[in-house]
Structure 1
C-alpha cells in the first residue's frame, strides 16, 4: 500500500482537468464534416487523462440546439463535470476583453470566450478549443489544446 506522500505525489502529477470549449463539443454533436473526427479524438484523449469540465457559459452555448434541459443533460451524460465560474474569472475576463478592445478588437460580444479562457486560467485547467489564437494572446500561460 502506498504511503500518503506517495499517493499525494501520484494525484498531484496527474494532468489538470480539461475545460472543453462549446465549439469542440458541437463539432461532435453535429457531426461537423471537417472537425468531428479531430474533436472526438481530442475529447477522448482528454477523458483518458482526467476530468472533462464545462461551465455555465459553455452549457448555454451548447443549449441553443436543444429543446429542453433534459435533452441537453442526456447528451452530455456524466462525461462532463459542471463547474461554476469563479468570481476571479469574471474579473480576468473583463480585463482580457478591455485589452482586446484596446488592441482594436471589433467583435462586440466575445466576452463569453474571455470567460472561458479566464475560467481555465484561474482554475488551472487545460483548454480544448479550435480558437487557439485569442486564448494564447490574452491568456499566454494557459495550456491550450488546439489544431496545429
Structure 2
C-alpha cells in the first residue's frame, strides 16, 4: 500500500504540536508498516522552509522512509480540473476554516463584498497527486479533500 503524506502531518512532527504530534507519528508508522510513504513536489517545497539545507531535508526524508514522487501529467491535469471547478463554484464571500460558516463581509468604505481565494492550487496538486500515485492520503486538512476529492481515501490525524 502506498500512503501519500500531506505537509500538515510532517509539520506536526517537525514543529512539535502537542495536540497532533502523536497521532501524526502514528499515521506515519502505520503507513510504513503497510507499505511506503510518498510526498509530492508541493509538500517537498513546503517542508524545505523548515530545514537549513536541502541535504538536511533529504536526510529527514530518508530517515523517516519518505520518498519524493514526481507528479504525473495526469495528476497535474486532474489538479487543474478540480481547481477550475472550485474557482467556478466557490461563490462570493469567505468560509471559516474552523467551522465552515460562510459570510459575506463588505468593504467599510464602498460597501462592495470582500472575497479571498481560500484554496490555492497547491492544495489541489497534493490531492490529485495522492489520488494518482497512492492508495490513500494522510492529512489534518480534511475540508478540501472531503469536498473536492470525494474519490480519494483519506486518513485523518
Output the CA distance in 1 between the equivalents of 2:75 and 2:149.
12
C-alpha RMSD of the superposition:
1.5
The aligned residue for residue 45 of structure 1 is 30
Instruction: Check whether the contact 2:38–2:67 (CA below 8 A) recurs between aligned residues.
Output: yes
Runs of 5+ unmatched residues, structure 1: 1-15
The aligned residue for residue 102 of structure 1 is 88
The aligned residue for residue 47 of structure 2 is 62
Deviation at 1:107, TM superposition (A): 2.3
SS of 2:152's equivalent in the other structure is coil
The aligned residue for residue 83 of structure 1 is 69
Number of residue-to-residue matches in the alignment: 132
Output the CA distance in 1 between the equivalents of 2:54 and 2:153.
31
Output the CA distance in 1 between the equivalents of 2:82 and 2:90.
13
Instruction: Specify the structure having the higher radius of gyration (Cα).
Output: 2
Note the 1:24-43 alignment, pairs <5 A: 24-43=9-28
Output the CA distance in 2 between the equivalents of 1:43 and 1:83.
17
Which structure has more relative contact order (CA 8 Å, sep 6+)? It is 2
Structure with a larger share of its residues in strand:
2
The aligned residue for residue 112 of structure 1 is 122
SS of 1:140's equivalent in the other structure is coil
The aligned residue for residue 99 of structure 2 is none
Output the CA distance in 2 between the equivalents of 1:104 and 1:143.
23
Give the 4+ runs in structure 1 shifted more than 2 A: 105-109
Output the CA distance in 2 between the equivalents of 1:36 and 1:70.
24
Instruction: Check whether the contact 2:3–2:134 (CA below 8 A) recurs between aligned residues.
Output: no
Output the CA distance in 1 between the equivalents of 2:15 and 2:128.
27
TM-score for the superposition, normalised by structure 1: 0.83
